[in-house]
């Protein structure tokens, strides 16, 4: 690797040297729109309200994100931060209008780093269509500094109503029906055009494992297959999740050979073969420490599993998630407790609020 290599990351666990950590500034609760509504839990306090989050909650989330960044820097990891834009503004394309944008706390949803490439995902919510702009100053800088860096952007989707199933446009579907639909892979997004969020993708060297769900459709997975020609791309799904978005509170690789899997969303038997035939262990994750997510939060209590691996011996776990910490400690990991729960509502946990720029290590084939 040349001295000027800035971008390099092939998996979720090699030693982390450079990372982007999101910011909470100006984050909004977006106005109703088809794909977002399908994800907001039916009993959520967020239904029927939108607009900027309160200054107090933004300040608290930023304090936690700043502390997390400082801790990483003290451990010798370079940290970059995005440039928030005015998320309260209306956005539109010739096809739609959205009352507000979302924010830039979870870079993991938008940016997919594979080797020397950073790929901007299509996204599948209208309110997140322009979120990549917050990362452009950083991507431009990496591109200028690193002659081998590839800055790519997936085709921006049109996100017309044809992208969404009308069946989901109700807040009275009920969990039972949702579980049946998601088990049948009947998700809110149609197969009109390729759609994916970067947080539906896990990187295992030569293999990319992608969750088919609300935010990523089969055409999106096919697009990734055609784009990453030297990789094997696998579609997975996890029955048992009534709101399937993003793989990173469901299936979490900890190091080579070890994955923790959400016990309510187990990987189906035939999809486990890839891992088990290659000697990998998939174990049930510990239970979350909380019965409820914090107020005005999109994610489930399973953000307990949304850990950030710093290297194959070291993992950051949210400070209140004592059961997850205990499990990882018993598995031989050094656990660093990081307070982040009061930032969950802004878009997720420790994995969500980061995006890899550089991890040591090269492309490997873990499933030959």
* List of residues contacting ligand DAV (CB under 6 A): 199, 245-246, 248-249, 299-300, 302, 348, 352
In the complex, what is the shortest distance from the CB of residue 292 to ligand DAV, in angstroms, rounded to a whole number? 12
Work out the number of other CB atoms within 10 angstroms of the CB of residue 306: 28
Among the listed residues 23, 119, 1, 5, the one whose alpha carbon sits nearest the alpha carbon of residue 358: 5
In the complex, what is the shortest distance from the CB of residue 247 to ligand DAV, in angstroms, rounded to a whole number? 8
Give the nearer residue to ligand DAV in terms of CB position, either 6 or 65.
Answer: 65
Give the nearer residue to ligand DAV in terms of CB position, either 6 or 35.
Answer: 35
Give the nearer residue to ligand DAV in terms of CB position, either 305 or 357.
Answer: 305
Among the listed residues 162, 160, 142, the one whose alpha carbon sits nearest the alpha carbon of residue 150: 142
353 catalytic? Reply is: no
User: Which two structure tokens, joined as six digits, stand for 326?
Assistant: 């205990």
146 catalytic? Reply is: no
Give the nearer residue to ligand DAV in terms of CB position, either 35 or 149.
Answer: 35
In the complex, what is the shortest distance from the CB of residue 363 to ligand DAV, in angstroms, rounded to a whole number? 25
197 catalytic? Reply is: yes
In the complex, what is the shortest distance from the CB of residue 240 to ligand DAV, in angstroms, rounded to a whole number? 11
User: Which two structure tokens, joined as six digits, stand for 54?
Assistant: 């309160």
Q: One of 25, 246, 297, 353 is an active-site residue; which one?
A: 246
Q: One of 163, 197, 241, 248 is an active-site residue; which one?
A: 197
User: Which two structure tokens, joined as six digits, stand for 337?
Assistant: 């407790």
User: Which two structure tokens, joined as six digits, stand for 190?
Assistant: 């149609």
In the complex, what is the shortest distance from the CB of residue 202 to ligand DAV, in angstroms, rounded to a whole number? 12
Give the nearer residue to ligand DAV in terms of CB position, either 6 or 245.
Answer: 245
User: Which two structure tokens, joined as six digits, stand for 14?
Assistant: 């090699």
Residues carrying an active site annotation: 197, 246, 352
């Amino acid at each position: 690797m040349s001295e000027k290599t800035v971008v390099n990351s092939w998996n979720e666990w090699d030693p982390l040297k450079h990372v982007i950590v999101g910011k909470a500034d100006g984050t909004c609760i977006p106005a109703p729109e088809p794909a977002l509504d399908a994800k907001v839990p039916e009993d959520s306090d967020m239904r029927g309200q939108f607009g900027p989050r309160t200054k107090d909650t933004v300040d608290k989330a930023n304090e936690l994100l700043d502390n997390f960044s400082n801790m990483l820097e003290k451990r010798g990891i370079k940290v970059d931060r995005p440039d928030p834009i005015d998320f309260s503004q209306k956005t539109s394309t010739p096809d739609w209008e959205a009352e507000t944008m979302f924010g830039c706390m979870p870079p993991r949803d938008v940016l997919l780093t594979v080797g020397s490439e950073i790929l901007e995902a299509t996204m599948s919510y209208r309110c997140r269509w322009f979120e990549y702009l917050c990362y452009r100053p950083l991507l431009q800088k990496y591109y200028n500094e690193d002659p081998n860096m590839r800055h790519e952007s997936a085709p921006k989707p049109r996100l017309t109503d044809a992208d969404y199933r009308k069946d989901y446009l109700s807040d009275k579907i009920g969990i039972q029906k949702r579980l049946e639909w998601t088990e049948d892979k009947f998700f809110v997004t149609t197969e009109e055009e390729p759609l994916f969020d970067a947080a539906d993708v896990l990187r295992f060297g030569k293999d990319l494992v992608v969750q088919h769900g609300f935010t990523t459709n089969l055409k999106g997975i096919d697009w990734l297959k055609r784009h990453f020609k030297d990789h094997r791309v696998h579609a997975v799904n996890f029955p048992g999740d009534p709101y399937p978005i993003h793989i990173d509170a469901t299936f979490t690789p900890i190091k080579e050979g070890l994955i923790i899997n959400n016990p309510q969303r187990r990987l189906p038997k035939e999809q486990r073969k890839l891992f088990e035939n290659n000697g990998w262990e998939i174990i049930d994750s510990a239970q979350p420490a909380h019965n409820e997510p914090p107020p005005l939060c999109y994610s489930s209590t399973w953000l307990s599993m949304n850990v950030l691996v710093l290297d194959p011996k070291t993992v950051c776990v949210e400070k209140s998630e004592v059961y997850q910490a205990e499990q990882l400690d018993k598995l031989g990991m050094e656990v660093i407790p990081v307070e982040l729960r009061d930032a969950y509502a802004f878009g997720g946990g420790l994995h969500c609020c980061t995006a890899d720029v550089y991890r040591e290590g090269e492309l490997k084939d873990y499933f030959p």
